[in-house]
Amino acid sequence: MNALQRPLFAILLVGAGLLAAPAAFAQRTDSTSTVKPQLNTAPPGGAPRPVPAPNTPAPRQQVPVPVPPPADEPVPTRPSTSSPSGLELPSRPGVAAPPPPLRKYFLYTNFGLGYTSYFGDGQFNASIAPALGIRISEKFAIGPGVSYSYTNNTYSDYTQQLYKYPRNVISNNVGLKAFAQYMVYKQFFLHAEYEVTRANAKFTYQGQGYERNRTLKTPLGGAGYRSSFSDRIAADIVVLYNFNDGLDTDGNSTSPYGQPEIRLNLLINLGK
């Protein structure tokens, strides 16, 4: 390095030192300001000032979701209006279920079959008679009805010769009736009827045909047994005594029914 270059180099070093001094002083000032202690302004002996919690949103309320009952548990039902209290109570072991509601009206249809014999004179009959039953109480019922019956009277040779009767008389009979029935014990009952019948009899005598119309009145009474298939349908077997069974002064039968009168009745409850 020559003599001219040395003074220039020394001037450059001094200038660089002067430029770097303010930057170092500013960096030292910033580093010391970050650790400046905080003054305690609270009164002596007092509790520390609470620090406010951060402003966080309130949790949303959970809505319960209905859970269906298990499959093996019964689903609750609404109270029934058929019970006096409006509630159906579960049946307890050993306790019978309540009886079904009593229906006021029922259809009562009978099918009759009978045969009577008087010293060789015989009468066969078959009948059908539907009626409308009305229950007055749980045990007592009455009702009107209509009837149709077929009778076939056959007379012996002795009766034909003595009274001049035809061999055979056939009648078709249509009538009106009323009945009453009373339940005595469980399925056993008493039964009574009164019927007025218009009988149309046809017969042949000495080769000539004849036709005769008569009005017959028949009181019947007896007992029966009922067999129930459900709360709506039942069947009765009834055995009745004919209080007007016999022959009139002209030798004609006084009733379209035999002795005894055996019937098979069908009962159908009506309504809900």
What is the spatial distance between Cα 191 and Cα 240, in angstroms, rounded to a whole number? 8
Within-domain flag for 131: yes
Quick check: is 17 in a domain?
A: no
- CATH no. for residue 170? 2.40.160.20
Q: What is the SS3 assignment for 29-97? A: HHHHHCCCCCCCCCCCCCCCCCCCCCCCCCCCCCCCCCCCCCCCCCCCCCCCCCCCCCCCCCCCCCCCC
- The strand ranges marked E within the chain are 105-118, 121-135, 140-154, 168-185, 188-205, 208-228, 233-242, 261-269
Instruction: Output the pLDDT for position 172.
Output: 92
- The answer as to whether 73 is a domain residue is no
Domain that holds residue 164: 105-269
Please indicate, yes or no, if residue 146 is contained in any of the structural domains. yes
pLDDT digits (tens, 9 = 90+) for 20-36: 555 555 555 554 444 45
Candidates 134, 131, 249; CA nearest to 194 is: 131
Q: What's the pLDDT score for residue 98?
A: 66
Confirm whether 211 is domain-assigned. Answer: yes
Residue 232 in any domain: the answer is yes
How many separate domains does the chain show? 1
Q: Are 162 and 120 in contact (CB under 8 A)?
A: no
Question: What's the pLDDT tens digit per position in 55-108?
Answer: 666 666 666 766 666 666 565 555 555 555 555 555 566 666 666 667 899 999
Element (H, E) at 231: none
Residue with tokens 């002083």: 25
pLDDT reported for residue 106: 95
Three-class DSSP category at 157: helix
Does position 195 have pLDDT exceeding 90, yes or no?
A: yes
Give a yes or no: residue 16 inside a domain: no
190 found inside a domain? yes
Does the reported pTM lie above 0.75? no
Summarize the confidence of residues 105-125 as an average pLDDT: 86
